[in-house]
């Protein structure tokens, strides 16, 4: 028993001196100015509105989702490559679109920005979502994160995509003429064949448009495969962005788990 306790004590000490996982990372990619978080493209991640907003929105119908361009053109990376891979696997256009949609719907767990980052609003670009997927097997995000990720993957797969803004919501449109499974066939500038991609629900199929948005005035912006150029680094201190991971489970430190085990062993011994 003394030997076992010694082994457990050594394990506890080793866990204490091991570097802990970094959940709050000070990154040169982000800086803070007047209470808002900006990235190295000088895009404000904590607001969709204004010239530097991640959607450059001036109203719900007048906007340009500039954050999408952080993952397209010369900036294309892992999210775009996922679309390319799925295009190779699924040559049929409709099946390809369904697989891309299902990938975004099933691999991202809906989580509010407040729960994940501690900000009322914090947009992720498509490659940040893809990086989390690669590391953890899933990612967290809210409606604009789904929309941006899905739009970039579609472009990588050779599909036309658009960001659509509805009241207090963002989603994706995909150009799929003759797609018979959609509950609404939509038009952009008189061109029909666009279907709604609502990936925020675990059971939503491609083409399902929520009834609450039918008849509403919507803003739509078709995504082009163009990159945004990174800005000159500002003379600002790096900001700390803390992803909470969206987990609601209880996390126990390995150190305290070992201490608890050492406390329980004598109890089992006395019961013999």
Number of domains in the chain: 1
Residue 245 resides in a domain: no
- Predicted confidence (pLDDT) per residue in 256-268, tens digit: 333 333 433 343 3
pTM of the model: 0.79
Asked if residue 179 lies in contact with residue 125, where contact means CB atoms within 8 angstroms, the answer is: no
Residue 108 resides in a domain: yes
Range of the domain at 81: 25-222
Residue 248 resides in a domain: no
Segments of the chain with pLDDT less than 70: 1-28, 233-234, 242, 244-272
Residue-level pLDDT at 101: 98
Residue 35 resides in a domain: yes
Q: Domain of 178: which CATH number?
A: 3.10.620
Considering just the CA atoms, what is the radius of gyration of the chain in Å?
A: 23
Residue 43 resides in a domain: yes
Residue 235 resides in a domain: no
Asked if residue 165 lies in contact with residue 218, where contact means CB atoms within 8 angstroms, the answer is: yes
Residue-level pLDDT at 257: 36
């Amino acid at each position: 028993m003394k030997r076992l306790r010694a082994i457990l004590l050594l394990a506890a000490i080793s866990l204490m001196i091991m570097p802990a996982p970094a959940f709050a990372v000070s990154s040169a990619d982000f800086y803070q100015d007047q209470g808002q978080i900006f990235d190295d493209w000088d895009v404000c991640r904590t607001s969709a509105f204004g010239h530097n907003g991640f959607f450059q929105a001036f109203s719900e119908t007048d906007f340009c989702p500039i954050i999408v361009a952080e993952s397209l053109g010369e900036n294309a990376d892992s999210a775009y490559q996922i679309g390319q891979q799925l295009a190779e696997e699924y040559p049929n256009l409709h099946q390809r679109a369904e697989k891309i949609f299902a990938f975004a719907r099933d691999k991202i767990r809906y989580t509010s920005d407040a729960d994940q980052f501690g900000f009322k609003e914090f947009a992720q670009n498509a490659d940040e979502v893809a990086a989390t997927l690669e590391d953890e097997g899933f990612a967290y995000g809210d409606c604009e994160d789904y929309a941006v990720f899905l739009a970039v993957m579609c472009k990588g797969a050779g599909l036309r995509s658009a960001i659509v803004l509805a009241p207090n919501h963002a989603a994706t449109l995909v150009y799929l003429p003759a797609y018979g499974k959609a509950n609404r066939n939509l038009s952009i500038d008189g061109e029909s064949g666009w279907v709604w991609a609502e990936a925020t629900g675990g059971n939503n199929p491609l083409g399902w448009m929520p009834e609450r948005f039918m008849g509403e005035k919507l803003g739509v912006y078709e995504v082009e495969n163009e990159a945004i150029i990174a800005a000159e680094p500002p003379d600002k201190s790096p900001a700390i962005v803390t992803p909470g991971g969206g987990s609601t489970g209880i996390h126990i430190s390995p150190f305290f788990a070992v201490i608890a085990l050492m406390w329980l062993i004598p109890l089992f011994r006395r019961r013999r």
